[in-house]
Amino acid sequence: MAEFLRFEEITKTFGDLRAVDNVSLSVNKGEFFSLLGPSGCGKTTLLRLTAGFEQPDSGRIYLNGQDITNLPPHKRKVNTIFQNYALFPHLSVWENIAFGLRVAKRPMREIKDEVARMLSLIQMTEQAQKKPAQLSGGQKQRVAIARALINKPQVLLLDEPLAALDLKLRQRMLIELDLIHDEVGITFLYVTHDQGEAMSLSDRIAVMHLGKIEQIGAPAQLYEAPRNSFVAAFIGDTNFFEGRVAGKASGDYSKLNIEGFPDVLCFNDKQINEGELVYLSVRPEKFRVSRDKPEGNGLHNVVPGRVEDVVYLGTHTKYWVRVQDYRISVYQQHSRFLLDEKTIRWNDDVWVSWHADDGFMLEYYSESDEKLMELPPEGVGSLSAPPEGRTEEA
Amino acid sequence: MRHSRIPLFTTLAIIFVFYLPIMVLVVNSFNDSRFGGNWGGFTLKWYARLLEEQQIWEAVWNTLLIAVGATLVSMVLGTAAGFALHRFQSRLQRLHFALIYTPLVIPDILMGMSLLLLFVALNVELGLMTIFLAHVTFCISYVAMVILARFQDFDFSVIEAAQDLGANWWGATWRVLLPLLAPGIAAGGLLAFTLSLDDFVISFFVAGPGSTTLPIRIYSMIKHGYPPLINALSTILLLVTFAAVTLSQHLSRSYQKK
C-alpha cells in the first residue's frame, strides 16, 4: 500500500513541554489509523499539526506527496471532527453541512444536491432546518461528520469524537463510524485515549506516550506482541515477571530463570542473549488454572500456586493466584463445572499453566507502567478499594 | 412571622429620592399649569410647543448626529479592542486592559477638561467634531467591556472549524465570528448610544458655537426659565433612553439563552 500521509521527524514544544518528540509516521491511503495514548501523550497535538492549527518546531508533513507543513488550515485537503463538535450555533443543520461548499463558492445546485446526499447518509433529512442547540449529542456528532465529509477531504481527522457521548450512544456511533469509513473510503486519522475504541475501529494503531511513539501495529499485533511494558499495560491487562535468560531450548524458544519458578519456556523472537535480564508479559486470559496438574506437550509452562481471591463477573471469573513473590491475575471462563465437578475457591491449591507462545519478552520495562492496569491493591480481601482506573490515569 | 422593616424602608427611600422626582417631572409635562406646584388639567400643549422650537430641533439633530456617529465608530473600534484583549497574549495586555477600562472610572469633568485642553493645544476648532471625538473615547470602552464579557464563554473551536472547512481568516470572521458576536456588538452599541445621547459634562467642555447638543440646550433652557417645555423634552429623552437600554438588555439575554 502506498503511504499517503507522512510525518517526518516532527517535534513540537509548548514552553518546556515536548508535546511531540521527533515522531516519524506513515499512514496508508484509505486506512483507519488511530493515535492512542493517555492525555498529554501528544496525540491531539499531532492531529492539530496535521490540520494546520499548529506549526511544528521541526520536521515536515507530507500529504499525497505534497509538503503541507506550512500550508494554512483552509488550504489543506483535510477536515476535522472536533471533540466538542464545534458546530456553528447560529446556522441550521443544512447550513452547517453546506458551509464548506459555500465558502468554496460552488454553484447552488451542486450545494443542494451534495447536502441532500449527506443528510441522507447521516439519516437527518428531517432535521435539516433545526439549529444545533435542538439536537441530541449523537445527532450533533453526525452533523459534524457530514460537515467534514462533504468537502471530500483526503484525510478525515477525528479528535476523540465519541468522548462526549454516553456509553450506549458511543457503541452505536462506533459502528456508524466504521460503516461510514467503509462507505466513503477516505483515510481516517483517529485520536483517542480509549483502547476499546481504537482496537475495534482501527486497521493500525500508533500507541503514544510522552510525545513519542511506543509501537505501531495492527490491534492484534499490539495486544499479542507488545514491545514494552507501556504498550502491554495500556492495552489490556497483563502480568509482568522478571527473570534471566538461562539458555536455549529447541527452535526459537529460550529457557527463563524466574525466581521461585521452575524453568519457564518462552518464545524468543527477539534473540535475547543468555544471562540477560528480561521482563516477561503474560495476559491474564492466557493462563489456565486447574486443580489437577495438566499434562503438557512440552511447550506448556506449569507452576503451582494458591488462590488468594476470586471475583465472579458472569462472563468470566478473575482469580488472583499467589506463586512465590507474584500475584498472578488470571481470567477464566466456565469456572462452575470442572472435570471433578467442583469449583475453584479461595485458598485452593491450584496449577497455573500457559503456553510458551503466550508469554512475551519485553524490550524494556518501567515499573510505573504497572499503575496503568486495574490492579487491586496488594493484600487479601481489600477489593472494596476502588481500582486505579485506566481512563482516570490517562 | 416577623419581617424586618429595613428592606421596605430602603425601597421607599430609593423610590422617594431617585424615582419620585422623575415621576413628578413626567406628570408635570402633561400639566396645563405653567408652574409645577398645582395641577391645571391634562394637556399636550407643551409637546406641541416643542415642535415649534427651532433651537431644540437643531440640538436634537446635533445630538443624534453625534450619537449615531460615535456609536458606529465605537462599535467597530470597541469590538476590535475586545477581540484583541481576549485573543492575544502579551505582557502588555494588563496595560491594554487598564487603558480601555480607565475611561469608565475617570470623572467626566476630568475627561472634559483634559480633552478641552488637548483640543485647544492642538488648535482644533471646537464644534461637532470635537464632541464626536470626545464621545468616541468613552464609548469605545463600554463597547469593549461588553464584547470582552461575551468572549468569556466563547468557544473558539468554531473559528478553527470554519478555517478547517476552507474559510480563510476573513471568511471565518465574516461568516462565524461576527454573526456570533452580533448580539454583543449590538448591545454594546445601544449602550454607547444612550451614553452619548445624554452626556452633558464632557460635551459642555468641548462644545463650540453652533454645536449645542440636547442636554446642553436643556440646561440653558432652565436658566432662561421655561420649565414645562423642559419637562416635555426630558420625558421624551427618558423614553428614548429607556427603550434603547431595554433593547440592549434583551439582546444580551437572548444570546445567553442559546
- Average pLDDT (B171-190) is 91
- Position A53 confidence tier, pLDDT thresholds 50, 70, 90: very high
Residue A225 C-beta-side C-alpha neighbours within 13 Å: 11
Q: What is the ipTM of this complex?
A: 0.78
> Quick one: fold of A229-393?
OB fold (Dihydrolipoamide Acetyltransferase, E2P) (2.40.50)
Contacts for B237 with CB less than 8 Å, ≥ 6 apart:
B197, B198, B214
- Say whether A72 and B168 touch across the interface (CB within 8 A): yes
Residues 195-224 of A with CB under 8 A from B: none
- Position A386 confidence tier, pLDDT thresholds 50, 70, 90: very low
Whether B22 has a pLDDT exceeding 80, the answer reads yes
The closest alpha carbon to B137, from B207, B196, B215, belongs to: B196
> Quick one: fold of B67-257?
MetI-like fold (1.10.3720)
The rounded distance, in Å, linking the Cα atoms of A124 and A106 is: 23
- Position A379 confidence tier, pLDDT thresholds 50, 70, 90: very low
pLDDT at A390: 38
Give me the DSSP letters along A124-140. -GGGTT--GGGS-HHHH
- Position A260 confidence tier, pLDDT thresholds 50, 70, 90: confident
Residue A98, φ and ψ in degrees, nearest 5: -75, -10
- Average pLDDT (B217-245) is 83
Whether B33 has a pLDDT exceeding 70, the answer reads yes
Helix axis angle for B128-152 and B54-87, nearest 10°, is 40
The closest alpha carbon to B28, from B15, B49, B42, B14, belongs to: B42
Whether B225 has a pLDDT exceeding 80, the answer reads no
Q: Are B119 and B206 in contact (CB under 8 A)?
A: yes
Residue B136, φ and ψ in degrees, nearest 5: -60, -40
- Within 8 A of A90 by CB-CB distance, chain B residues are 176, 179-180
> A227: which 3 cell numbers?
514491545
Whether A248 has a pLDDT exceeding 70, the answer reads yes
Interface test with B, best of A80, A87, A101, A131 (most B CBs within 10 A): A80
- Say whether B164 and A87 touch across the interface (CB within 8 A): no
What share of chain A in percent tops pLDDT 90?
Answer: 47
Mean pLDDT score across all residues of chain A:
86
pLDDT at B91: 84
Residue B180, chain A, CB below 8 Å: the answer is yes
Q: Which of A43-47, B56-60, B70-74 has the lowest mean pLDDT?
A: B56-60
Residue B175, chain A, CB below 8 Å: the answer is yes
- Position B254 confidence tier, pLDDT thresholds 50, 70, 90: low
Contacts for A37 with CB less than 8 Å, ≥ 6 apart:
A43, A193, A207, A208, A209, A214, A234, A394
The closest alpha carbon to A80, from A64, A100, A94, belongs to: A100
- Position A273 confidence tier, pLDDT thresholds 50, 70, 90: confident
Q: Which of A92-101, A227-236, A360-369 has the lowest mean pLDDT?
A: A360-369
Task: Summarize chain A as % helix, strand, coil (round to 5).
Answer: 30, 35, 40
Residue B161, chain A, CB below 8 Å: the answer is yes
- Say whether A103 and B157 touch across the interface (CB within 8 A): no
- Average pLDDT (A33-46) is 92
pLDDT at A382: 35
- Say whether B161 and A53 touch across the interface (CB within 8 A): no
Helix axis angle for A137-149 and A93-103, nearest 10°, is 20
Phi-psi category of A28—alpha, beta or left, where left has phi over 0 and alpha has psi -120 to 50? beta
Whether B93 has a pLDDT exceeding 80, the answer reads yes
A193-225 pLDDT, tens digit each: 988 889 988 999 999 999 999 999 999 999 988
Q: Running DSSP on this structure, what letter comes out for residue B113?
A: H
* pTM (predicted TM-score): 0.78
Report the chain A residue with the minimal C-alpha distance to residue B158. A86
The rounded distance, in Å, linking the Cα atoms of A142 and A328 is: 44
- Average pLDDT (A279-293) is 89
A312-329 pLDDT, tens digit each: 888 888 999 998 888 999
Please tell me the class of the A3-224 domain: alpha beta
Q: Are B213 and B131 in contact (CB under 8 A)?
A: yes
Q: Parse chain B into domains and list their residue ranges.
A: 67-257
- Within 8 A of A52 by CB-CB distance, chain B residues are 163-164
Query: What count of CB pairs under 8 Å joins A to B?
Result: 68
Whether A81 has a pLDDT exceeding 90, the answer reads yes
CA angle, A269 then A375 then A363, to 5°: 20
- Say whether A88 and B166 touch across the interface (CB within 8 A): no
The rounded distance, in Å, linking the Cα atoms of B187 and B189 is: 5
- Position B1 confidence tier, pLDDT thresholds 50, 70, 90: low
HEC string of A137-202 equals HHHHHHHHHHHHHCCCCCEEEEECCCCCCCHHHHHHHHHHHHHHHHHHCCEEEEEECCHHHHHHHC
Whether B21 has a pLDDT exceeding 80, the answer reads yes
Q: Which of A123-132, A242-251, B143-152 has the lowest mean pLDDT?
A: A242-251
Q: Parse chain A into domains and list their residue ranges.
A: 3-224, 229-393
- Within 8 A of B165 by CB-CB distance, chain A residues are 74, 79, 99-100, 103, 147-148, 151
> A190: which 3 cell numbers?
483517529
Q: Which of A33-47, B30-44, B105-119, B229-243 has the lowest mean pLDDT?
A: B30-44
Residue A334, chain B, CB below 8 Å: the answer is no
- Which strands, in side-by-side order, build the sheet including A264-267? A264-267, A253-258, A239-248, A277-282, A359-362
